[in-house]
Structure 1
């Protein structure tokens, strides 16, 4: 009987953790959705917006053009796919983090920077594995700026229309590696995993650094409620500040991986008949912009990531206090 009660309590905590993480992710993403749209256009080298890239003011001028062309809805284009992705992504990430954290660091005395980094990296990798196709759909919807129907009328990209276009994209040409051709012929679902390997590698330094910084600063700056509980006595303001700094450091460490991933994700649009690989994508970025090419849009990244992480961590902790776990 006690075993059943323990399982019920554990399942209840997982559900609460998922709700807290999912809500936190959705709120944070909504706050920065317009900046996210502009950043994707810059990272993926959309030709209509490259003239704005490279300066802080360019982000706002690009946003003004999007607003002028498409109104408020243009600034949130692709956001429906973002919310469909971010709720399960954030839910899985924070559930995994809570579970891995309790496994590696059951008490505050057992917390180390390596364990904090490992808990964040593992939780990030798990969440990316399960939600990557939704991220690809979001990027494609944000990247597309012009669609025309058979009658010549502009058509706003939709979730289902974008999914159909990705699935219908040409398979790799004979110049692509045979193994890639065979895999995509056999498993067309792989079209929804363009850039996945870069994303998986990139999430390790990003999530690992974010949770390492979060855990370290909370352990250093935030007092515990009591010796028996070991729980940090944090405030929403402290959560916002620590979350913001965590996001800034994580973004700096992982940004080159994000640029490579974005280029590979839109490869089906720029070169629909080929499967872009790591090496050629990195060379193309280097040839076009040198080292700076791997950091294009980083200023917008800070404008986006700092408030997003601040809100995400603060809402996550606020939801945990609200749901009492």
Structure 2
């Protein structure tokens, strides 16, 4: 520092001579200025700066490990709140879609046109007012809070295990994490889904059915036993040897005898297609959302889509987190996720709805996935698997957009 001072003073030399005391003052001033340039944090500690208004200095934001119980609890509650908000936004459309999918006789005349959903909503409102549009919504919220909580919680935990770094951020791993989280949520909440569908399917306005009434009805339904295939039919249709056909027929008869066809098993109608449908639905939903988020954060789009530093809260400035998107950009990523996931899983969703209302449609026979698919194909062709898809888009796109948006904002609020 002593060598730097004379050079700095010498840069402003004047023709006159400099007294010794002035030279010492200039040396001290130069040393102080040079020290300030080399150690800027010293000044920042004593007073505010322009940088402090953008990035808060000295923040003590606690980092919560992803594998901790606290993180799991907070992400679960955030997911549950997000799911409830999303379902409430689209509750009337959800009920109309169920009526279309389950082929409710009273509403078949409205299917096949874009205005059919609006006319169906008007019909329901005319009969039961606003309450009719939200019939079954209480059961929906009872199911959707744990469903959404478990789904987002499981996704965060599975993702932390499957994707440990940037090099593992592959579409396959993202799809696998989303599909596994969806299956976990289905296992935990499926009976509540059956109750919700049955409440929404009922259209008789004279008697107000409660959740307890629906549960009692479902529990006491006794669908006819399926007819096991005979050995002769297996030989003729499947072209299997006689010994194998006899064994298959005997085992089918035994399984039919011991399989429960009433009681608690009634609450799991349509479980198999639900599980199969959840794989493409949840997998493509999380995959599309993450990929759309990466696209929105590209350098060329970031100035328009990413929230500026000056508008972020302290919790949004935590390290090792992707920069938060603006509200409209986050809603678009969620909408894309809803569109893709709905398209990929809709045929299985139609099959599932038909199985769930099996106790009140036809003779009450508990149909298998293959039987339901065959009936749909026979009655309406391949288009029967996409009945209500238009209203499905109208419902799912804003629902998933709201879900992801609220979840991301709840994560910020919870500091995770």
TM-score, normalized by length of structure 1? 0.91
Q: Find the residue that maps to 2:259 and give its secondary structure.
A: helix
1:164 to 216, 219, 230: 216
Offset, 1:275: 1.4
Match of 2:406 among 315, 322, 325: 315
| Unpaired segments ≥5 residues, structure 2 | 1-63, 229-251, 299-305, 307-315
**2:112, 2:147 → 1: CA distance?**
30
Deviations, residues 192-235 of structure 1 (Å, cap 9, x unaligned): 00000000000000100011101111123226989961423323
Change in Cα spacing, 1:216 to 1:226, as seen in structure 2 (3 Å) is farther
Q: Structure 1 residue runs of 4+, over 6 Å off?
A: 6-9, 224-227
Does the alignment pair 1:91 with 2:149?
yes
Of 266-275 and 125-134, more deviation after overlay is shown by: 266-275
1:135 equivalenced with 2:193 (yes/no): yes
Instruction: Summarize deviations over 1:134-164 as a string: whole Å, max 9, x none.
Output: 00000000001116xxxxxx21121111000
Distance in 2 of aligned mates of 1:156 and 1:112:
50
Contact 2:226 2:366 in 1 (8 A): no
Establish whether residue 304 from structure 1 lines up as the match of residue 356 from structure 2. Answer: no
Computed over aligned residues only, the root mean square deviation of the Cα atoms, in angstroms, reads 2.2
Q: Closer, same or farther in 2 for the Cα pair 1:78/1:217, shift >3 Å?
A: same
Instruction: Deviation per CA, 1:156-193: give whole Å up to 9, x if none.
Output: 121111000000001433636642452215x7311100
Aligned length: 314
The separation in 1 between residues aligned to 2:226 and 2:94, in whole angstroms, is 36
Q: Distance in 2 between matches of 1:217 and 1:273?
A: 44
TM-score by length of 2: 0.72
Determine if contact 1:28/1:312 at 8 Å carries over to the other structure. Answer: yes
Partner of 1:245: 336
Is the 8 Å Cα contact of residues 226 and 256 (structure 2) preserved in structure 1?
Answer: no
1:37-73, Cα deviation, whole Å (9 max, x unpaired): 0000000000000000011100000000000000000
The runs of 5 or more residues in structure 1 that have no matched partner are 1-5, 148-153
The within-5 A match list for 1:1-325 is 10-146=68-204, 154-173=206-225, 175=227, 178=253, 179-184=255-260, 188-222=263-297, 229-271=320-362, 273-325=364-416
CA distance in 2, matches of 1:87, 1:207: 16
Contact 2:142/2:192 (8 A) holds in 1 = yes
Per chain length, whose mean CA-contact separation is higher, i.e. which structure has more relative contact order (CA < 8 Å, sep 6+)?
1
Shift of 1:243: 0.2
Distance 1:60 1:174 in 2: 39
SS of alignment partner, residue 233 of structure 1: coil
Larger radius of gyration: 2
In 2, the alpha carbon distance for the partners of 1:304 and 1:278 equals 25
Distance 1:303 1:278 in 2: 26
Determine if contact 1:173/1:273 at 8 Å carries over to the other structure: no
